[in-house]
Amino acid sequence: PYMVREQCLWVDGKLPKFRENIYHDAEEDLWWIGTAETPLTNLHRDEILPMDVLPLNYVAYSACFRREKMSAGRDVRGLKRGHQFDKVEMFKFTTPESSYDELEKMVEHAADMARLLGIPHRVVMMCTGDLGFVAAKKYDVEMWAPGCQEWLEVSSISNVEAFQARRGNIRFRREHGASPEYVHTLNGSGLALPRTLIAVMENYQQADGSIAIPEVLRSYMGGVEVIR
C-alpha cells in the first residue's frame, strides 16, 4: 500500500523524527509512504514467527513520496531530488546472530546491480554521526555521475537490529516451548531509480549526444542499442 496508518510509521522509526517530511491526508488520517520499508516492516507486526522460516526475504517495488525541503538551484531540479520517485526495496527478518551476515549479502545485491550496469561505483560504510535514528550499521552504494562530477547515493542498506521489532512486537521462537525473542530487521534500496537513471545517462552519453543502452538492459528495450 502507498498509504498507511500512523502506527506503521512509528514501528519503522519514521515517526516522530520525519513528521514534517511525510505527506499526510488529514481527513482520512493516512500517511503516504516515503519507502516500501514502512509496509514491509509491518507485515509481521504482533506475530511470533517459527525459527524455520527465517530469514524471511522480501522485495517490493513502489512509488515513494517525500516532502523534500528544497531551495533554488540546479542541484534540486529534475530527477535528482523529487517529491515522488520509484524504488525497489529489499527487506529481511532474521535472527540476531545472522543479521550482520545478511547485511553483507544485501550490500552485495545492491552493488551487483551497479556492476551489471557497468557504472563506476563505491560502497561506503557510514560513520556513527551519519547513522539514522534507527540503524545500528549502514552502508551506502554510490554511483559516479561524470556530468555533475559527484557520487550519487543510489542505495542505503541498514541493519536496525531489534529496534523495529521492539516497536512492532515482532518475535520468533527457536523451538516449541522456548521463550520468544525479537527478530532483527534489515532494509535496503535496490536501487532508487531516478539517480540510477542519471548515472546511466551520464556514463553512457556519446559525443553526438545519443545515449548507449547498457548491454544488460538491451533485452528489455526490444533490442534497441542507442537512444538518439
156 is catalytic: yes
- Which residue is it, cell 526495496? 89
The rounded distance, in Å, linking the Cα atoms of 50 and 163 is 20
The 3 state secondary structure assigned to 117-158 is HCCCEEEEECCHHHCCCCCCEEEEEEEEECCCCEEEEEEEEE
The rounded distance, in Å, linking the Cα atoms of 34 and 119 is 26
Catalytic: which of 6, 45, 47, 153?
153
66 is catalytic: yes
The rounded distance, in Å, linking the Cα atoms of 147 and 149 is 5
Catalytic: which of 6, 45, 47, 81?
81
- Helix or strand run (H / E) with residue 192: strand 184-192
97: which DSSP letter?
Answer: G
Catalytic: which of 62, 155, 156, 158?
156
Catalytic: which of 66, 142, 155, 158?
66
Catalytic: which of 102, 142, 195, 202?
195
41: which DSSP letter?
Answer: H
Strand segments, DSSP code E, in 9-120 are: 24-25, 30-32, 48-50, 56-65, 84-94
225 phi, psi to nearest 5 deg? -105, -25
45 is catalytic: no
166 is catalytic: no
Catalytic residues: 66, 81, 153, 156, 195
